[in-house]
């Protein structure tokens, strides 16, 4: 039947479009400058940066495929943005050395810390403690401290070290360790004592921003001066993930060019990486296997797959307690739940035909399964 040919063609398109390593420009605007955050629906928030004209946070609507540069206003040199447990967005205001909480439902901005030294990067741990890197305020720009803000709002200096200098990028790795990029090195920071331990020598470059991707337990960082994006695995091995010479070119990941990439984030399903790159918002579709087949997750099976009626059964043979999250190809979170049954029915009847991804997590182990609805 003709309908079947159409569905087959669509399925073929979905597979090709996802499994080709492709770089694509999503939006271009002079206010796309620095850090990013991606919400659970896959929408992307960009900061307009410090100094002269940084007052806004933009939003790229993943469904409408459009960018609004001033979705949130009233900031003062916003560098980075993240979300804390209560749903507030945390933003570093470089220009006036404050940190604020922004309620996305009311647009209300509340100052939660002041008197910092050019606050830049943000990392938030599982206990909802906020960690802030200090690049340093002008005219010297000699920041060397990490501040900590507790859920109760108590501000303190976690680390004060000459090893930290004009630094920004911070992220928690898969082991819950705080990783900081400073002076061409990656350090592990003890969040109890503030002590720094050198982890990786980057030799000739540092990172503007970093993310941790649980599917391969690796850190990805933007090296603006190198015009590249690097990947550091759990053992500290450094490889070039994307980029070569300075330039601008979309297309195949191996030949795509970047010009001073800075912000970096990823879709909720972790298979699309977003980069801010010289006033452009760009996406990188990853064609790696979807997740690491950890031994204790190998027994998860999905049937029927493809499904023609939208109902699939997830077989959890050992009845492990796991969390499941379903995403569409854009990275938008559709549903999430915890299960422990040996069999669980997943209902996709309300969703359109196409490809979906089921992320299953048990402890620190994660696997992502592809589901096709015809």
Domains present along the chain, CATH in parentheses: 21-285 (2.120.10.30), 295-373 (2.60.40.3080)
| Banded pLDDT at 16 (limits 50, 70, 90) | very low
**Cβ neighbours for 13, distance < 8 A, ≥ 6 positions apart:** none
Q: Which residues contact 294 (CB under 8 A, 6 or more apart)?
A: 362, 365, 366, 367
Cβ contacts of 12 within 8 Å, gap of 6 or more: none
Q: What's the whole-number mean pLDDT along residues 151-179?
A: 96
Cα separation of 232 and 295, whole Å?
Answer: 23
Give the pLDDT mean for 68-77. Answer: 97
Rounded Cα distance between 35 and 281, Å, is 11
What average pLDDT does the segment 228-248 reach?
96
Helix and strand numbers, DSSP H then E, in the chain: 1, 32
Three-class SS state of 226 = helix
Asked if the model's pLDDT at residue 1 lies above 50, the reply is: no
Question: pLDDT confidence of 287, banded at 50, 70, 90?
Answer: low
pTM above 0.85, yes or no: no
Structure tokens at 232: 């550091």
Kindly state the DSSP code that residue 17 receives in the 8-state scheme: H
List beta partners, residue 326: 335, 358
Centre a 10 Å sphere on the Cβ of residue 52 and count the other Cβ atoms it contains: 9
């Amino acid at each position: 039947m003709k309908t079947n040919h159409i569905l087959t063609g669509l399925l073929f398109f979905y597979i090709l479009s996802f499994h080709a390593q492709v770089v694509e420009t999503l939006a271009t605007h002079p206010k796309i400058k620095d850090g990013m955050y991606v919400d659970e629906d896959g929408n992307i928030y960009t900061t307009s940066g410090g100094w002269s004209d940084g007052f806004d946070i933009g939003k790229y609507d993943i469904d409408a495929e459009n960018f609004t540069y001033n979705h949130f206003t009233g900031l003062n040199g916003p560098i980075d943005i993240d979300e804390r447990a209560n749903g507030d967005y945390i933003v570093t205001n470089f220009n006036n050395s404050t940190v604020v909480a922004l309620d996305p439902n009311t647009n209300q901005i509340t100052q939660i810390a002041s008197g910092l030294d050019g606050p830049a990067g943000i990392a938030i741990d599982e206990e909802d403690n906020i960690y802030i890197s200090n690049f340093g305020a002008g005219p010297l720009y000699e920041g060397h401290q990490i501040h900590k803000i507790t859920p109760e709002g108590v501000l303190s200096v976690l680390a004060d070290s000459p090893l930290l200098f004009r630094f920004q990028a911070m992220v928690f790795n898969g082991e819950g360790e705080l990783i900081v990029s400073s002076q061409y090195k990656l350090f592990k920071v003890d969040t109890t004592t503030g002590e720094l331990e050198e982890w990786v020598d980057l030799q000739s470059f540092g990172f503007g921003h970093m993310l941790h991707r649980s599917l391969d337990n690796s850190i990805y960082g933007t090296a603006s001066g190198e015009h590249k994006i690097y990947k550091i695995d759990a053992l500290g091995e450094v490889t070039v993930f994307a980029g070569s010479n300075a330039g601008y070119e979309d297309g195949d990941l191996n030949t795509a060019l970047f010009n001073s990439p800075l912000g970096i984030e990823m879709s909720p399903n972790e298979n699309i990486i977003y980069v801010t790159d010289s006033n452009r918002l760009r996406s990188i579709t990853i064609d790696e296997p979807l997740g690491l087949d950890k031994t204790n997750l190998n027994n998860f099976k999905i049937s029927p797959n493809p499904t023609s009626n939208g109902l699939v059964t997830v077989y959890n043979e050992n009845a492990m307690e796991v969390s499941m999250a379903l995403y569409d190809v854009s990275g938008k979170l559709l549903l999430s739940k915890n299960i422990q049954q040996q069999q669980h029915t997943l209902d996709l009847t309300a969703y359109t035909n196409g490809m979906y991804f089921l992320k299953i997590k048990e402890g620190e182990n994660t696997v992502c399964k592809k589901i096709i609805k015809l």
